[in-house]
């Protein structure tokens, strides 16, 4: 039976809803993973869920790990996680399910497989590995789902779901289908709309600096941010430098372009709310980039991608004076006064998904 025939309409809705919720939290690599694993645990009736990123060589080398559920599972976390240490030291053959899983994948089975799919009960329950690690940790049934991460490096993303010893039921075909569909979509977004394990997170900044970051993403000038936060201009300047260093950016426009490229918007779930200024600027209905001339639209695209005037001129084969005139046309079209204000406006809810309107058409590319 195919995977699609196992999933109900409600399952597909749950998958797409969860993917959307993760994207809403995508700029915070820890928060979107916590939400993902908590929901996977609930959807599959698991006790614990883990996501492990690594180079699945022999021995295995983990480059990132996220976990959910230990506090309420009653399972012994140190004993179970010692398996990962032994895996890194002794190689994949240490866990009977690993070579069995890889052989099953090579034979063409789906990437989401439980232990019963690859190993017989007798072989599993009589193994020294099961007696030495699973029994002490309290873990019985286990499911693997592994997908390659996009981009170079050969890293894989592996989901591991476990159930306790007293739970005798295996994972159902429907639950495996949900996990496979979800994990495939999520893995394709990592280091794109979803921040990777080792990317800087806004949540790592001090609370007041996070509030300033929120103000910047909402398009405030230094003076406006100082008024909203009740801080001096010098303090705002120092906080802004902290933000730029944290994200490896050189300017406000570069920072905003990063948020826009990744599709993060200015939802700012990681920051305390900041009151809006009385009489704050409001925007008229959204002008469309499609109304701009083709070459101006190309310049607009470069601005959204964070290019400097010099970089835009080199990309488009135009002079700096022409780029400057095109930028003025763009600012007037959208009713803004600067590049940072343009980028911040484009980050407003409902705009990020319209980024495709800024892409050059076939005739522009010629």
Mean pLDDT of all residues in the chain? 86
DSSP-assigned states of every residue in 125-168: HTSHHIIIIIHHHTEEEEEEEEEEPSSTT--EEEEEEEEETT--
pLDDT at 1 over 70: no
Distance (Å, rounded) from C-alpha 333 to C-alpha 256? 19
Q: What is d(CA 263, CA 146) in angstroms, rounded to the nearest whole number? A: 25
Q: What percent of the chain has pLDDT over 90?
A: 57
CA 121 distance to own-chain centroid: 37
Helix, strand and coil percent figures for the chain, each rounded to 5: 55, 10, 35
Mean pLDDT of 291-300: 90
- List the domain boundaries for the chain: 3-189, 204-261, 289-365
Q: What percent of the chain has pLDDT over 70?
A: 89
Distance from CA of residue 66 to its chain's centroid? 13
The answer to whether domain 289-365 has CATH 1.10.10.10 is yes
If one counts every other C-beta atom within 10 angstroms of the C-beta of residue 44, the result is 21
Average pLDDT over residues 286-293: 81
Instruction: Compute the Cα dihedral for 303, 309, 315, 320 and give only its sign.
Output: positive
Query: How would residue 358 be classed by pLDDT, with cut points 50, 70 and 90?
Result: low
**Could you read off the pLDDT of 45-82 as tens digits, one per residue?**
999 999 999 886 666 788 899 999 999 998 999 998 88
pLDDT surpasses 60 at 174? yes
pLDDT at 360: 53
The three-state secondary structure class of 196 is coil
**Residue 356 reports pLDDT greater than 70:** no
Indicate if the pLDDT at residue 218 is higher than 70: yes
- Cα 45 to Cα 31: distance, rounded to the nearest angstrom: 21
Just give the CATH number of 3-189.
3.30.450.40
Confidence tier at 112 by pLDDT (50, 70, 90): very high
pLDDT digits (tens, 9 = 90+) for 177-217: 999 999 999 999 999 999 999 999 999 999 999 999 999 99
Residue bearing the bigger pLDDT, 339 or 200: 200
> Structurally, what CATH architecture does the domain formed by 204-261 represent?
Orthogonal Bundle (1.10)
Write out pLDDT tens, residues 11-52: 999 999 999 999 999 999 999 999 999 999 999 999 999 999
Check for a shared fold between 3-189 and 204-261: no
What is the per-residue pLDDT across 248-266, written as a single tens digit (0 to 9) for each? 998 898 999 999 889 898 8
Q: pTM (2 decimals)?
A: 0.82
């Amino acid at each position: 039976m195919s995977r699609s025939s196992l999933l109900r309409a409600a399952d597909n809705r749950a998958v797409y809803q969860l993917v959307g919720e993760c994207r809403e939290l995508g700029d915070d690599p820890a928060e979107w993973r916590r939400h993902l694993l908590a929901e996977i645990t609930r959807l599959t009736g698991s006790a614990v869920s883990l996501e492990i990123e690594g180079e699945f060589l022999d021995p295995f080398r983990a480059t990132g790990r996220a976990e959910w559920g230990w506090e309420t599972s009653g399972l012994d976390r140190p004993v179970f996680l010692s398996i990962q240490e032994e895996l890194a030291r002794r190689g994949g053959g240490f866990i009977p399910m690993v070579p069995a899983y890889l052989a099953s994948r090579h034979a063409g089975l789906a990437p989401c497989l439980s232990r019963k799919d690859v190993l017989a009960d007798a072989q599993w329950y009589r193994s020294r590995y099961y007696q030495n690690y699973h029994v002490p940790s309290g873990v019985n049934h286990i499911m693997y789902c592994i997908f390659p991460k996009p981009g170079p490096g050969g890293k894989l993303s592996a989901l591991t779901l476990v159930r306790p010893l007293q739970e005798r039921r295996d994972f159902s075909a429907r639950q495996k289908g949900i996990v496979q569909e979800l994990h495939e979509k999520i893995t394709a977004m990592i280091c794109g709309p979803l921040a990777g394990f080792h990317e800087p997170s806004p949540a790592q900044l001090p609370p007041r600096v996070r509030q300033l970051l929120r103000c910047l993403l909402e398009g405030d000038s230094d003076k406006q941010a100082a008024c909203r936060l009740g801080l001096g201009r010098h303090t705002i300047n120092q906080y802004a430098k902290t933000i730029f260093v944290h994200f490896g950016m050189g300017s406000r426009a570069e920072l905003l372009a990063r948020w826009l490229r990744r599709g993060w918007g200015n939802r700012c779930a990681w920051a305390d709310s900041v009151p809006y200024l009385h009489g704050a600027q409001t925007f008229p209905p959204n002008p469309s980039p499609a109304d701009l001339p083709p070459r101006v639209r190309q310049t607009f695209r470069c601005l959204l991608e964070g290019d400097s005037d010099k970089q835009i001129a080199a990309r488009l084969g135009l002079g700096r004076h022409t780029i400057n005139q095109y930028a003025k046309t763009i600012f007037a079209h959208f009713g803004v006064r600067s590049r940072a204000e343009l980028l911040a406006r484009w980050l407003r809810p409902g705009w990020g998904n319209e980024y495709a309107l800024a892409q050059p058409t076939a005739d522009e590319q010629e």
